[in-house]
Amino acid sequence: MSFFGKLSWNAIPFDQPIPLTAAATVIALFTAVLVWIAVKGYAPYFWKEWITSVDHKRIGVMYCVLGLLMLLRGFIDAIMMRTQQALAFHAQGYLPPEHYDQIFSAHGTIMILFGAMPLVVGLMNFVVPLQLGVRDVAFPTLNSVSLWLTATGALLVNLSLVLGEFARTGWLPYPPLSELRYSPGVGVDYYLWAVQIAGVGTLLTGINFITTILKTRAPGMTYLRMPMFCWTSLATCLLIIAAFPVLTATLAMLTLDRYLGFHFFTNTAGGNAMMFTNLIWAWGHPEVYILVLPAFGIYSEVISTFSSKPLFGYRSMVIATMFICIVSFCVWLHHFFTMGAGGDVNAVFGIASSIIAVGTGVKMYNWLFTMYGGRLRFTTPMLWSMGFMITFITGGMTGVMLAVPPADFLLHNSMFLVAHFHHVIVGGVVFGVLAAIAYWFPKAFGFRLHEGWGKAAFWFAFVGFYVTFVPFYVLGFLGMTRRMQHYNVAEWYPWIMASAFGILILIGGIVCQVIQLVVSIRRREELRDVTGDPWDGRSLEWATASPPPVFNFAVLPHVGGVEAYWNVKQRAREDLRLGQEPHYEPVEMPRNSPTGFICAFFATVIGFSLIWHIWWLAILGFVGAYATFVGFAWRDVPEYVIPAEDVARIDRANRAVRQEALAGAPPS
Amino acid sequence: MVSCRRIAVLVPYALACAPKSSLADSILSPAGPVSAGDRIILLDALVIMLAIVIPTMLTTLAFAWWFRASNGRATYRPNWTYSGRLELLVWSIPTLVIFFLGGVIWIGSHQLDPFNPLRSAAKPLEIDVVALDWKWLFIYPQQGVASINRLVVPVGVPLHFRITSASVFNDFFVPRLGSQVYAMNGMTTQLNLMADRPGRFLGLSAQFSGDGFSDMVFDAVARPHAQFSQWVAEARARGPMLDRAGYRALLRQSRNVAPYTYRGVMPGLFDAVAARAVPQSDGPKKRGAIPSGGT
Picking from A19, A343, A414, the nearest residue to B110 by CB comes out as A343
Please give the pLDDT value at position B22: 41
Number of continuous H segments (helices) and E segments (strands) in chain A: 21, 2
Q: How confident is the model at residue A593 (pLDDT cuts 50, 70, 90)?
A: very high
H or E stretch including B46? helix B33-66
Report the length, in residues, of chain B: 295
Whether A216 is a known active-site residue: answer no
pLDDT digits (tens, 9 = 90+) for A477-517: 999 999 999 999 999 999 999 999 999 999 999 999 999 99
Buried b or exposed e, range B100-133, using 16+ CB within 10 angstroms:
ebbebbbebbbebbbeeebeeeeebbebbbbbbb
Of B256, B172, B151, B257, the closest CA to residue B214 belongs to: B256
- Decide: helix, strand or coil at residue B214: helix
Picking from A18, A378, A390, the nearest residue to B57 by CB comes out as A390
Number of continuous H segments (helices) and E segments (strands) in chain B: 6, 13
Question: Is the per-residue pLDDT at A251 higher than 50?
Answer: yes
Please answer yes or no on whether A478 and B26 come within 8 Å at the CB atom: yes
Please give the pLDDT value at position A334: 96
Whether A212 is a known active-site residue: answer yes
Q: Which of A125, A346, A366, A379 is catalytic?
A: A125
Looking at the DSSP assignment, which residues form a beta bridge with residue B151? B220
Report the length, in residues, of chain A: 668
Q: Are A198 and A145 in contact (CB under 8 A)?
A: no
Question: What average pLDDT does range A387-401 have in this prediction?
Answer: 96
Question: Min CA distance, B170 vs chain A (Å)?
Answer: 10
Whether A48 is a known active-site residue: answer no
Neighboring chain A residues of B168 at a CB cutoff of 8 Å? 174-177, 182
Q: How far is CA B2 from CA A88, A89, A90, A236, in A?
A: 13, 14, 15, 49
Per-residue pLDDT of chain B (295 residues; tens, 9 = 90+): 444 455 555 544 544 444 444 446 789 999 999 999 999 999 999 999 999 999 999 999 999 999 999 999 999 999 999 999 999 999 999 999 999 999 999 999 999 999 999 998 899 999 999 999 999 999 999 999 999 999 999 999 999 999 999 999 999 999 999 999 999 999 999 999 999 999 999 999 999 999 999 999 999 999 999 999 999 999 999 999 999 999 999 999 999 999 999 999 999 999 999 999 999 998 997 644 444 333 3
What is the spatial distance between Cα B284 and Cα A498, in angstroms, rounded to a whole number? 36
What is the spatial distance between Cα A85 and Cα A95, in angstroms, rounded to a whole number? 9
Q: Are A208 and A238 in contact (CB under 8 A)?
A: no
DSSP label of A163: S
- Residue in A with minimal Cα distance to B97: A358
Question: Is the per-residue pLDDT at A623 higher than 80?
Answer: yes
Question: What average pLDDT does range A208-233 have in this prediction?
Answer: 96
Contacts of A77 (CB under 8 A, 6+ apart): A103, A104, A106, A107, A110, B295
Q: Which of A75, A312, A421, A608 is catalytic?
A: A421
pLDDT digits (tens, 9 = 90+) for A277-298: 999 999 999 999 999 999 999 9
Q: How far is CA A581 from CA A572, A614, B52, in A?
A: 13, 62, 53
DSSP label of A549: P
Average pLDDT, chain A: 94
Q: Are A287 and A121 in contact (CB under 8 A)?
A: no
pLDDT digits (tens, 9 = 90+) for A22-52: 888 889 999 999 999 999 999 999 999 999 9
| A481 part of contact set with chain B, CB < 8 Å | yes
| A501 part of contact set with chain B, CB < 8 Å | no
Please answer yes or no on whether A369 and B27 come within 8 Å at the CB atom: no
DSSP label of A256: H
Lowest mean pLDDT among A4-8, A342-346, A605-609, B212-216: A4-8
Whether A300 is a known active-site residue: answer yes
3-state secondary structure B102-127: HHHHHHHHHHCCCCCCCCCCCCCEEE
- Residue in B with minimal Cα distance to A105: B295
Picking from B68, B87, B186, the nearest residue to A376 by CB comes out as B68
Q: At CA A604, angle to CA A603 and CA A608, rounded to 5?
A: 120
Size of interface A-B (CB pairs under 8 A): 372
Q: Are B255 and B215 in contact (CB under 8 A)?
A: yes
- Decide: helix, strand or coil at residue B218: strand
Question: Min CA distance, B233 vs chain A (Å)?
Answer: 31
Contacts of B158 (CB under 8 A, 6+ apart): B117, B118, B120, B122, B123, B124, B125, B192, B193, B194
Looking at the DSSP assignment, which residues form a beta bridge with residue B221? B152, B200
Question: Is the per-residue pLDDT at A383 higher than 90?
Answer: yes
Please give the pLDDT value at position A1: 56
Please give the pLDDT value at position A407: 96
Question: Is the per-residue pLDDT at A401 higher than 90?
Answer: yes
Whether A285 is a known active-site residue: answer yes
- Residue in B with minimal Cα distance to A409: B179
Please answer yes or no on whether B64 and A405 come within 8 Å at the CB atom: no
Picking from A401, A409, A484, the nearest residue to B178 by CB comes out as A409
Question: Is the per-residue pLDDT at A129 higher than 60?
Answer: yes
The DSSP annotation for A11-26 comes to GS-TT-HHHHHHHHHH
Neighboring chain B residues of A378 at a CB cutoff of 8 Å? 64, 68
Mutate to test the interface with B, among A360, A409, A569 (most CBs of B within 10 A): A409
- Residue in A with minimal Cα distance to B290: A185
- Residue in B with minimal Cα distance to A96: B211
| A254 part of contact set with chain B, CB < 8 Å | no
Percentage of residues of chain A with pLDDT beyond 70? 99
Looking at the DSSP assignment, which residues form a beta bridge with residue B219? B150, B202
Buried b or exposed e, range A624-641, using 16+ CB within 10 angstroms:
bbeebeeebeeeeeeeee
pLDDT digits (tens, 9 = 90+) for A294-324: 999 999 999 999 999 999 999 999 999 999 9
Question: Min CA distance, B134 vs chain A (Å)?
Answer: 12
Beta strands B170-174 and B241-242: pairing type? Answer: unpaired
- Decide: helix, strand or coil at residue B192: strand
What is the spatial distance between Cα A498 and Cα A386, in angstroms, rounded to a whole number? 25
Question: Is the per-residue pLDDT at A665 higher than 70?
Answer: no
Residue A269 vs residue A79, higher pLDDT: A79
Question: Is the per-residue pLDDT at A465 higher than 60?
Answer: yes
Mutate to test the interface with A, among B5, B65, B295 (most CBs of A within 10 A): B295
Q: At CA A532, angle to CA A529 and CA A538, rounded to 5?
A: 125
Please answer yes or no on whether A354 and B101 come within 8 Å at the CB atom: yes
Radius of gyration from C-alpha coordinates of chain B: 26
The one-letter code for the residue type at A316 is S
Q: Are B293 and A99 in contact (CB under 8 A)?
A: yes
Whether A81 is a known active-site residue: answer yes
Of A289, A332, A470, the closest CA to residue A394 belongs to: A470
What is the spatial distance between Cα A175 and Cα A253, in angstroms, rounded to a whole number? 11
Q: Which of A62, A70, A80, A81 is catalytic?
A: A81
- Residue in A with minimal Cα distance to B60: A368
Question: Min CA distance, B32 vs chain A (Å)?
Answer: 13
Please answer yes or no on whether A77 and B21 come within 8 Å at the CB atom: no
Phi then psi for residue A2, to 5 deg, are -80, 175
Neighboring chain B residues of A362 at a CB cutoff of 8 Å? 90-91, 94
| A583 part of contact set with chain B, CB < 8 Å | no
| A482 part of contact set with chain B, CB < 8 Å | yes
